[in-house]
Structures are given as C-alpha cells and as structure tokens.
Copies of this chain bind each other. A is one copy, B any other.
Amino acid sequence: MASFECPIPISDYDRITLAHGGGGRLTHRLITKLFLPLFSNEYLQRLHDGAVIPSDGRMAVSTDSFVVSPYFFPGGNIGDLAVNGTVNDLAMCGAEPKYLTLSLILEEGLLLKDLWEILATVKRRADEAGVLIITGDTKVVERGKGDGIFINTTGIGSVAEGVHVGPERIRPGDLIILSGPIAEHGIAIMSVREGLEFETPLRSDTMNLWPLVKAMLDVSREDVHALRDATRGGVASALNEMARSSGLGMVIYEERIPLKEEVRGACEILGLDPLYVANEGRFLAFVSPDRAEELLQAVRAIPGGEEARIVGEVVEEHPGTVVLRTAFGGSRVVDMLSGEQLPRIC
C-alpha cells in the first residue's frame, strides 16, 4: 500500500478554521500546499473551477455524499467509501471508472492530520481504481453545524459498446449472483459505535467492485443483465428495488447467502437482520441462467470475489416482491426496510 508524506508539516493540534473555507489566502494555501501535491495531475494543476476531459461514446455518471459516523472505522475510513462507493456505482452501470470529483464539507475544528489521513486514503484508493481526481471544492462550516467531514464524490466512467446493464433487462429465469459474504460493513460500524469487541475483529467490506464486474463483462456483455450494489438497506433493499424496477419477482435461498459466523453472532447481539445491514463491497448480478456458472467462476477468480455464490433467481410470480426460502423449507416475504436501522452508515 503506497504511503504519502504530507507536503507541509502538520502538528497534532492543527485544526481547520472557518478561514480555510473563505476563498482567500488560507483556502488557496490548503489547495496548493496540501491537495495539489497529493492529487497532482494535468486537470487539477490548472486550478480552474472545472476540468475539461476528452470523452467519446456513452459516459456513466454517479454521485454520492458520504456522512459515515465515525469517519475512521475498522477496515477503513470515509475516504475509502468516498472512492469505492462512487466507483462501485459506476461499475453497477457497467462502466469503467475514469474520473472523480471531490467535494469536502469540513467542520471547523477538524484536525488537519485527520484530514490528511483521509485525503491520503482517497488518493490511494483512486490510484488503485485507476481514477483521476479532476476537480474539487472545499467548504467549512462552524462548529456544531457539521460533523468533522462530509465528502461528496461524483464519478464519470465509460460504457463499452455492447454493455447494456439495467433493471429493464432482467428476465424471468435469470439467476442472481451475490459477490461475497454480507453485512460486514454495517456491523463494523455498529460495533465501534456500540463499543463492542469481538475475538475476530469485524472489518468493513469496502472494496472496488469494478474488477469483478469487468471479469463478468469480459466473459459476456450480453448475459450480464443488471447489477446492483447492496449498500444502505442491505441485500434486502437492493433486491426489492430491482424487483420493483423490473416488475418481476425474486426468490433467494437463505442457506446459500454467504455470512461469516462472527458477523451472524454480532447481528444477533445487536438485534439486526443481516439481510438489511449495509455492505460497501458487495453486489448482486442478474445474469442469463445458461452462462451463470461461467460468470460466477469469473467473479470468484478475482480477489474479493472468492466467496461469490448464486443465491437466487428471478420469477414471473409475485411481481415486485422478494421471497426468501428458509433453510427449514419455509418462505417469507422480504420487504423493504421500514424504519431507520443504521443511520449514517456511509
């Protein structure tokens, strides 16, 4: 993992002030002394309020604001989510991530060293994902009007010819691939909030999903019908949204859904249903049944996809509804999450 040395000396006590957001000398310093050396590239270097990029064909665009609390958590920080989350939204459009914008809302008093650590993480993840940070913005709000740091990233990716991914392409009979064990991100956040400690530390599953998606598209662009990452609201909400958008029914099999033993235990302690717990590095793919096994193997060959499984199928019955077949042979409707289960999980 690359490490980045801070270009200016930062003490343990240096903090963000309102003047860092005022558009004057301190804003200029923050940008030219801290942000530019770290993210340095031809677009940012021009110091304009926007970037001009070459483009051709179809571009995917996605935006996400990250407000996760706490902003450092087991397995990552808000910077990991800010890159991976938006990169993943592009991947879910079947798009190769290319560019990111980075917009910060900082609370007065944020430790500069925390900001640096988060930005260095953004840089690391962006490099790994092969995306360039092309333009940005920084605002500062008074103490008590924010919560340390909120980050918005907007991503732009390119969609290759022949790739058409979307809920309208889902067909009855499609199989549903889940890319890995569920509920780890949400449980990692909740356990630190609740001060719980486990023998095996629970870590966020945040990761870049594009390599897994690319592996599938390399097998067949035609047979990958739809993709959805299972973030806020978990696998249950993602399935429900896809059932509603496609106007079809979904059936999933409880015993096929990968779930680590320690995560299951933590869910029980916290009173949470793992199907509703947020993931930041897991997705569902709706694929042609005749190529499903091949597509599954492609995902499993990529690091982070080893535990992928076929967990269910698309049916004509009960349109718009998701049904879970339990290990004991029963079945129940898996509805959308009703209330707020895990606020500020991403």
Contact = CB atoms under 8 A, between A and B. Distances in A.
B28 A67 contact: no
B46 A52 contact: no
A304 to B, nearest CB: 20
Contacts of A22: 232-233, 337, 339-343
Contact of A59 (B46, B59, B60, B142): B59
A237 interface: yes
Given A24-B339, A60-B52, A103-B64, A147 B152 contact: no
Given A58-B55, A343-B21, A167 B48 contact: yes
A136 interface: yes
Interface residues of A, number: 87
In the assembly, how many copies of this chain are there? 2
Interface in A103-122: 103-105
A67 B105 contact: yes
Given A146-B146, A338-B24, A339-B22, A53 B49 contact: no
Contacts of A150: 105, 141, 150
A99 to B, nearest CB: 7
Contact of A52 (B47, B105, B159): B159
Contacts of A338: 19, 24-26
Interface stretch (A88-96, A217-225, A263-271, A311-319): A88-96
A341 B339 CA distance: 42
Contact of A154 (B63, B147, B278): B63
A23 B343 CA distance: 9
Contacts of A139: 65-67, 344
A241 interface: yes
Nearest to A104: B65
Given A22-B233, A245-B46, A145 B142 contact: no
A51 B61 contact: yes
Contact of A92 (B50, B228, B344): B50
Contact of A95 (B50, B54, B146, B228): B50
A93 B48 contact: yes
Given A233-B23, A237-B23, A278-B23, A53 B61 contact: yes
B152 A233 contact: no
A213 to B, nearest CB: 13
A72 B187 CA distance: 39
A177 interface: no
Contacts of A34: none
Interface string A75-108: 0000000000000011011010001011111000
7 contacts: A24-B232, A24-B237, A50-B155, A54-B57, A65-B105, A105-B105, A145-B147
